Amino acid sequence: MKPIIDELPRLYANFLPDFVKTKIPVEELATCNDCAMCQKNALPKTASITHFLPETKCCTYHPMLPNYLVGALLADESPEMNEGRKRIKEKIKNKTGIIPQGIAMPKKYKALYSMASEKGFGRSYSLLCPYYEKAGGSCTIWKFRNAVCSTWFCKTVAGEDGKIFWKKLQGYLADVEIHLINYCLVSAGINADAIIKDPLPFASQESLTAEDIDERINEEEYQNLWGEWAGKEEEFYIKTFELVANLDKKWFEKIMGINQQIHLKKMEDAYLKMTRPILPGKLKRNNKTGVFKMPDGSYNIALGMAIYNIPGFAYQIFEMFDGTILNKDLLKKAKKEKGVAIKEDFLLTFYQNRFLIEAD
Ligand code: SF4
Ligand code: SF4
C-alpha cells in the first residue's frame, strides 16, 4: 500500500486535501518496466487482444501540460530531468502548441489522434508522445506528468473497481489543472476575456488551417495570444509554477470552490468500492469475457486489458456460474461434484474484473 500522493507531482502535496494521503494498493499488475501489454507477457497470438509494441507501450498520446507543471520542470535542476527539460525548451522554441495555459497537443496531432487512436493506441510510432524516450522505454518528464498520465494504468489489482477509482481521481486532477491554470493566468495579468471564452484553446474540435497542417506559426496570432509575455515564455511558465508552489490549503480550496467537495465525495465512494468490495450473492459469467485454452490445459480469461491464467479445474467452476443459484450453494455443489474447494477471494477477483457479474 502507498499514499495516493506518491503517484502525483510533488508540488500538489502542499495544498491538496488530506484524502490524497489515503493509502491505496500498489498497482503491481502494470509492470511498466517490462510492459504487461507487450506480447511476450500477454496472450498468445490466437487471443483477440491487441498487444502494445515494446517501443511505444501506452505512451502513444500527447498530453496537455499545464503551465505551472511546465514551469516546475524548467525550474527543476536535477540531472534526471535534463532530457525532459531539453525537449520542453525545444518545444517552446518551435512555438507549436505553446500557449499561456501550458503546452498543448498540436492541432495536427489532435486530428490524427481522433482518427487513429482506436487502432493505433499502444502500437503507432506516429502517435508517440514527444516526451517518451524510446531507447529506455521511459518518460523524460515523469515527475511533472499531467492528470491523465499520473492516473493511467492498463491493469489494476482491483480490476474494474480500480479503474473506476483512477478515473474519478483523473477527473478531479483534470479539474484541479484547469482551476490552477486559470488562477495563474489571472494572477499573471493575461486577458480575462480570452480565458473565459476559451479556457483551453486547443481543446475544441475545429478545422485545421494551412499553418496548422504544416505546423507553422501564425506570428500575429501568437503575439496576440502571449501579449507582453511573447519571447519570455519560459519566464512566464516559471512564474506560474511559483504562484502554484506558494499556495496553501485555504487558498486552494477557495480556487476550487464547491467542485472540490463534489469530487471528494465521488473519489471516496470509488475508494470504498475498490478497497472493500461487496460481493453480490448470485453471480453469473459475463458473456463478453474471452476464454482461451492453453496448450498446458490451463485457461486464459480476458476482458478489456485484464488477463488471468487459471488452472483447468478452476475454469470448470467458473463455467458453472450461470446465475441460477446463490454463490455459496454453487461452491458447495462444486466441492461435492468436482471435489474442488474454491475460496471467496477467487470470486472477488473475478467479480472485480467483471469476468463474473451480478445475476438478475
Ligand atoms: S501502464 Fe502502460 S507501460 Fe505500464 S504496463 Fe501498462 S501498458 Fe505497459
Ligand atoms: S508524458 Fe510521459 S507518461 Fe505521459 S505519455 Fe508522455 S512519456 Fe508517457
Place of cell 524510446: 134
> The pTM is what?
0.94
Place of cell 490549503: 249
Among the atoms of ligand 1, which is closest to the Cα of residue 32? 4
Tell the burial category of 165 from Cβ atoms under 10 Å away from its Cβ (0-12, 13-18, 19+).
Answer: buried
Taking each helix axis as running N to C, give the angle between helix 82-94 and helix 233-245, from 0 to 180 degrees, rounded to the nearest 10: 130
Query: Considering every ligand atom, which ligand is closest to the CA of 53?
Result: 1
Alpha-carbon distance of 207 to 87, in angstroms, equals: 28
In total, the chain counts a number of residues equal to 360
Ligand 1 touching residue 351 (CB < 6 A): no
Ligand 2 centre from 195 Cα, in Å? 27
Q: 300 φ, ψ to 5°?
A: -100, 130
Supply the pLDDT for residue 359: 95
User: Mind listing the pLDDT tens digit for each residue in 78-108?
Assistant: 999 999 999 999 999 999 999 999 999 999 9
Helix (H) or strand (E) holding 303: strand 299-303
Ligand 1 centre from 32 Cα, in Å? 5
Cβ neighbour number for residue 312 with a 10 Å cutoff:
12
Residue nearest to atom 4 of ligand 2 (CA): 149
Hey, which of 52, 138, 148, 305 would you mutate to test ligand 1's pocket, going by the most ligand atoms within 8 Å of its Cβ?
A: 52
Joined grid coordinates for residue 104: 498543448
Q: Which is nearest to 188 in space by CA: 231, 255, 243, 254? A: 243
Query: Considering every ligand atom, which ligand is closest to the CA of 58?
Result: 1
Instruction: Bin 228: left if φ > 0, else alpha if -120 < ψ < 50, else beta.
Output: alpha
Ligand 2 touching residue 149 (CB < 6 A): yes
Supply the pLDDT for residue 278: 94
Supply the pLDDT for residue 47: 56
Q: Is the pLDDT of residue 307 over 60?
A: yes
Say if residues 231 and 217 touch (Cβ distance below 8 Å).
Answer: no
Average pLDDT over residues 296-321: 92
Supply the pLDDT for residue 198: 56
Ligand 1 touching residue 57 (CB < 6 A): yes
3-state helix, strand, coil in the chain (%, to 5): 50, 10, 40
CA angle 202, 203, 206 (to 5 degrees): 75
Query: Considering every ligand atom, which ligand is closest to the CA of 73?
Result: 2
Helix (H) or strand (E) holding 151: helix 147-151
> Helix, strand or coil for residue 283?
strand
Ligand 1 touching residue 30 (CB < 6 A): yes
Hey, which of 87, 103, 113, 129 would you mutate to test ligand 2's pocket, going by the most ligand atoms within 8 Å of its Cβ?
A: 129
Beta bridge partners of 308: 301
Supply the pLDDT for residue 144: 98
Query: Considering every ligand atom, which ligand is closest to the CA of 129?
Result: 2
Joined grid coordinates for residue 24: 491505496
User: Mind listing the pLDDT tens digit for each residue in 195-221?
Assistant: 665 555 555 667 888 988 999 999 998
CA angle 291, 292, 296 (to 5 degrees): 135
Average pLDDT over residues 38-64: 78
Alpha-carbon distance of 271 to 169, in angstroms, equals: 10
- Maximum CA extent, the chain: 79
> Helix, strand or coil for residue 28?
coil
Ligand 2 touching residue 145 (CB < 6 A): yes
Supply the pLDDT for residue 288: 93
Say if residues 103 and 97 touch (Cβ distance below 8 Å).
Answer: yes
